[in-house]
Amino acid sequence: MANTNYVTQETFDKMQADLHSLKTKDRPAASAAIAEAREKGDLKENAEYDAAKEAQGLLEAKINQLEAAMASARILDESTIDTSRVSILTKVTAANLVTKKMVTYQIVSESEADLKLGKISVTSPIGKGLLGKEVGDIAEVNVPAGTLKFKIEKITV
């Protein structure tokens, strides 16, 4: 059984659009590339044919992966999220007690994680360490560089 993939409606819509594009544009293009390479002669020594078949295999794997992610997706409605505790899709403002800096992270699914945008995965060490904490709690997070301590200052959506 696949793990549940928590996503926003926006992310799910993007996944649907990507899947549609892969099936309607990229798949026919891959088939055309194979047909074109097949016309160039002996398939045993046709590197272009081998490359086109490999590209088609990778495309099909990507389609299967996206379909599986969508099948296990659970769309979360931001208006129903409880902000009394850190949970998926909440934004957490915390004070790093080691560096004395304030950080704000949004806890998201693995597929939505983007550290540049302040979105960290619920399965990351920091995400796991913050999950379930309330305002005022101290979260000790074990990361490869050591242990980080965060004091939860604010939880919002």
User: Residue 114 has which token pair?
Assistant: 């983007």
- Domain boundary (75, 109, 133) is at 75
CATH code, domain carrying 125? 3.10.50.30
Q: 60 with 107, same domain?
A: no
The string of pLDDT tens digits covering residues 88-100 is 889 999 999 988 8
Q: How far is it, in rounded angstroms, from Cα 124 to Cα 110?
A: 8
The string of pLDDT tens digits covering residues 98-149 is 888 999 999 988 878 888 999 999 889 999 999 999 999 999 988 888 888 9
Q: How far is it, in rounded angstroms, from Cα 69 to Cα 63?
A: 10
Q: 152 with 82, same domain?
A: yes
Under the banding of pLDDT at 50, 70 and 90, the label for residue 3 is: confident
Query: Averaged over 25-49, what is the pLDDT?
Result: 84
Q: How many domains is the chain partitioned into structurally?
A: 2
Q: Where are the alpha helices (DSSP H) in the chain?
A: 9-21, 27-38, 47-71, 125-130
Q: 87 with 41, same domain?
A: no
pTM: 0.67
Q: 37 with 84, same domain?
A: no
